[in-house]
Amino acid sequence: MLNELKKENIKTEEKSIFKNPTLLYAGRFSKQKRLDLLLNIFKKLNNIYPKLNLVLVGDGEEKGNLIKQIKQKKINNVYFLPFTNNPFKYMSKATLFLLTSYEEGLGRVVVESFACGTPVIAFKNEFSGHVDIIDDGKNGFLVPFADINQFVEKVKILLENENLRKEFSKNAIEKAKEFEINKIISRLEELIYN
């Protein structure tokens, strides 16, 4: 089913965005997601890579604040796309998925991004469930929370090294397979019956 969803057509104007290297966030626009940090990271990256795009998919109470920050900081190439039940069509076209949350549960969005072959760079802290999904340096990078400069450096590594990015992508797809429902049921049965 995911294979069909990630192949779903996107609008013509959206296709033009994804022609250039694109960083993606999909989810709620809430304070806990720390999208203010994401904008600071992207501003630094956009100064180095003027054709780089940032796509924010979703909605939430912080949207107005984000638009205000983008204008105040004069950040270019940021695109808002509305909430969708199918973020996979964007994940599969993005160069990297970025996660700047202060706290995150299991991080289903990380598994979804991996299933689309898109590496993830994320902040880690004691409240981050995605640290159990991302294998640092293999399918993505984990960065100490709020270390914007290190986050920028990790993005640069994958933007500038296509072979490494392809390797991360392959590893991400393999990691996502560990979260397929039949494998989870099998593990639960082992726990229950052994």
Q: What is the mean pLDDT of each run of 10 residues along the chain (194 residues)?
A: 82 94 97 96 97 98 97 97 95 97 82 95 83 93 96 98 98 90 48 58
Domains of the chain, by residue range, sit at 2-193
Across-strand partners of 141?
121
pLDDT for the residue numbered 190: 53
pLDDT for the residue numbered 188: 43
How far CA 147 is from CA of 18, 87, 121, 127, in Å, comes to: 27, 27, 12, 16
pLDDT for the residue numbered 185: 43
How many CB atoms are closer than 10 A to CB 69? Answer: 17
pLDDT for the residue numbered 1: 65
pLDDT for the residue numbered 194: 57
Q: In CATH, which of 3.40.50.2000, 3.30.565.10, 3.40.50.1100, 3.30.200.20 is domain 2-193? A: 3.40.50.2000
